[in-house]
Amino acid sequence: MSLTDHLSARIQADGPMSVADYMGDCLLHPQLGYYTTRDPLGAKGDFTTAPEISQMFGELLGLALAQAWISQGSPAPFTLAELGPGRGTLMADLLRATRGVPGFHTAMQIHLVEASPALRAVQTKTLDGHAPEWLDTVNALPQQPLFLVANEFFDALPIRQFVRSGDHWSEKRIGLKEGALCFGLTPAAPQPALEHRLADTSEGDLVELCESAAPITAAIAARIAADGGAALIVDYGDWRALGDTLQALRAHQPADPLQAPGQADLTAHVDFEALALAAKSEGCAFTRLTPQGVFLERLGITDRARALAPPLQGEALENLISAHRRLTHPDEMGNLFKVLGLYPSQAAPPPGLNP
């Protein structure tokens, strides 16, 4: 059975499905999902990410977390966690960069939250010698200080889409028209979860709601507030989501999200306000939302690039220069990607971020 057959059967049985249910099936269907069945990253895959562009990304995030750990009195043991580690590249770079931090490696217990068996297998190879433990959800994180990174994890979580109609909302759903998947709208109804958006939207505006983001953030924030720690959440998005940001990428090219389900990456911009409010509700402090370029510059990416440059020549040197530019320049990933830090209210914010 193809994923299209599965989706058509589901729609025929239950009626048109939400964008969230569609994304959930496309990305994580146990046998046919995009992430469950493949390694989608890198030049030969469908998209690339900051850690795949340069080792500098994971190194700097690792050192920022290690500094936060030192500032909080070097607690031992502690959880070093990553959400959605992809190929494990960020974690490998983080671990190499923090080798020299006294006590960090002996105190850490690595936990990876990863839904894809295919990517767990890749992470096992990348992190050979480190014995990480894999978890299905953040709720299984141990009760101890938590130092966590998540890059391009929240953008893969399913979103629902609503279109404003008066003071009510119509939900965008996916149904079938002459056998093909197509978008439609439900009749308008009140949406208590979107009450707060009536003030900043107008008729016809589309608003996205990621229902799993807040509970995941709340679980991390509760741990950090209770036991100490810090989280660095990096993703594309902004303080408040407005407009249709559902995006499909296949072989590094934008694609129609309803074409070839399960064969393309599907993402949506992250509404960082929802994450910050979930953290706050657990008594955890959050930093100002900071552009990735600014954050990496503050952490010293230019010095790191200069340190890596001398032995390089030709293409290798050009790759380093272009990686620095891609990660930091406002026209590339520098502005589109943002960083939100979570930390205990009595501690200092993580390096590179302001309260």
Q: Does 151 bind ligand SAH (CB under 6 A)?
A: yes
Residue from the set 16, 62, 85, 351 that interacts with ligand SAH by CB under 6 A: 85
List 116, 170, 263, 328, residue binding ligand SAH (CB under 6 A): 116
**Among positions 153, 272, 286, 295, the unique one binding ligand SAH when judged by CB under 6 A:** 153
How far is Cα 189 from Cα 313, in angstroms, rounded to an integer? Answer: 62
DSSP string covering 222-256, please?
HHHHHH-EEEEEEEEEESS--S---EEEETTEEE-
CA distances from 323 to 186, 215, 222, 264 (A): 44, 34, 35, 25
Window contacting ligand SAH (CB under 6 A); options: 149-157, 162-170, 194-202, 295-303: 149-157
Binding mask 237-266 for ligand SAH (x = CB under 6 A): ------------------------------
Coil, strand or helix: which one is 17?
strand
d(CA 145, CA 341): 15
Residue from 94, 119, 181, 214 that binds ligand SAH (CB under 6 A)? 119
> Please, what is the minimum distance in Å from the beta carbon of residue 40 to ligand SAH?
7
To ligand SAH, the closest distance from the beta carbon of 340 in angstroms equals: 15
**Is 49 one of the binding residues for ligand SAH (CB under 6 A)?**
yes
Q: Select the residue interacting with ligand SAH from 11, 115, 333, 339 (CB under 6 A).
A: 115
Dig out the tokens for 28 from the structure. 């994580």
Burial letters 49-60, b for 16+ CB under 10 A, else e: bbbbbbbbbbbb
Closer by beta carbon to ligand SAH, 334 or else 344: 334
User: Please, where are the H alpha helices in 180-212?
Assistant: none
- The smaller minimum CB distance to ligand SAH, of residues 207 and 327, is found at 327
Among 223, 84, 94, 243, CA closest to 156: 84
The candidate with the shortest Cα–Cα distance to 222, out of 144, 114, 149, 123, is 144
Residue 90 backbone zone (phi > 0: left; psi -120 to 50: alpha; other: beta): alpha
41 near ligand SAH, judged by CB under 6 A: yes
Choice from 46, 59, 93, 152 touching ligand SAH (CB under 6 A):
152
Size of interface with ligand SAH, in residues (CB under 6 A): 18
From first CA to last CA, the distance across the chain in angstroms is 51
Q: Measured between alpha carbons, how far is 19 from 25 in angstroms, rounded to an integer?
A: 10
Spatial separation of the C-alpha atoms in residues 43 and 143, rounded to whole Å: 39
Q: How far is the CB of 118 from ligand SAH (least distance, A)?
A: 8
Nearer to ligand SAH, 163 or 266 (CB): 266
Nearer to ligand SAH, 115 or 231 (CB): 115
Burial class (CB in 10 A: 0-12, 13-18, 19+), 315: exposed
Applying the rule CB under 6 A, the residues between 88 and 107 that interact with ligand SAH are 90
**How far apart are CB 230 and ligand SAH at their closest, in Å?**
17
Give me the least distance between CB of 231 and ligand SAH, in Å please: 14
52 binds ligand SAH (CB under 6 A): yes
Provide the binding-site residues for ligand SAH, judged by CB under 6 A: 35, 41, 49, 51-52, 84-86, 90, 113-116, 119, 151-153, 156
